[in-house]
Amino acid sequence: MFARQLGWYHSTPEDEKQTRAEKFKTQTEGLELDLPKCEAEYLVPFFIEAGRFTATGNGIVALSWVDINAWVEATEKNLSIWEKQTIKLMSEHYVNEYYAGSIVTGK
């Protein structure tokens, strides 16, 4: 849920110039984004440090196993397969919600 909400906040609605997070911070100065609690909260900094997504010429995509394993090796983190799978799933949810949040329905 955390990664989905973060992806939605980072998306830019159609016909808008600011992301939802930028707009929220402009309209509610001093308040922080309200993100749901992550059950594996200790993995959130790893998810963000790993990059959340990979940028391509056609937009963003979820982190691949190659991306995650390269990050683990470069940072010398000792993560279990479950932790790596969770970071991958968080990335997939982030990207899906990022794109879903960029589509305006009802037009």
The pLDDT tens digits of the residues spanning 26-83 come to 877 766 767 777 778 899 999 999 999 999 999 999 999 999 999 999 999 999 999 9
pLDDT value at residue 82: 95
Residue 105 has pLDDT above 60, yes or no: no
User: 41: exposed, middle or buried (C-beta count within 10 Å: 0-12, 13-18, 19+)?
Assistant: exposed
